[in-house]
Amino acid sequence: MREKKWKDCPVCGAKNTMQTRKNVSERFHPPGYPPLDIAELEGQFCSACGEGFWSLASERRIARLLAEHCATHDATRIVAAELASVQEAAKAMRVTVQGIHKMMNEGRLRYVVAGDTRLPIRKDVAEKASARTAAGR
């Protein structure tokens, strides 16, 4: 699907002020974690009010890098007993192993990096599994 090219700002309503910016750097402050600088982002921003939004590719990249950043820091404070295997998470959530990896990549399921392996956090798996069950999926 193609991204819409905005001309007028959807926030302030200014006419013909939306501009595409590439190679933008931004500092993100996830709560409870140190800040993370991400470069080479792109999006559309208003020259009048400064508000804007990221492209879909940049949004995906931000979510992935923030998830990796949090996982690296969680590895120092979460004990092994609080982790689940990917297979265990897939069974509990009734999705495929690939679905679990996709959720971790997109930042929808917290995980910890242990060596070269990503392991979901058991508490988050249980919360997501109960939410899926409550939603009737």
Average pLDDT, the chain: 92
Domains of the chain are: 1-55 (3.10.20), 75-137 (no CATH)
- Alpha-carbon distance of 9 to 85, in angstroms, equals 45
Strand partners, 43: 21, 54
Determine if the pTM surpasses 0.85.
Answer: no
Check pLDDT > 70 for residue 136: no
Check pLDDT > 60 for residue 137: no
Q: How many residues does the chain have?
A: 137
Closest residue by Cα to residue 82 from 32, 119, 128: 119
Q: pLDDT digit string (tens) for 97-119?
A: 999 999 999 999 999 998 889 99
Tokens of 52: 């804007």
- Alpha-carbon distance of 55 to 42, in angstroms, equals 6
What single-letter DSSP state applies at residue 120? E
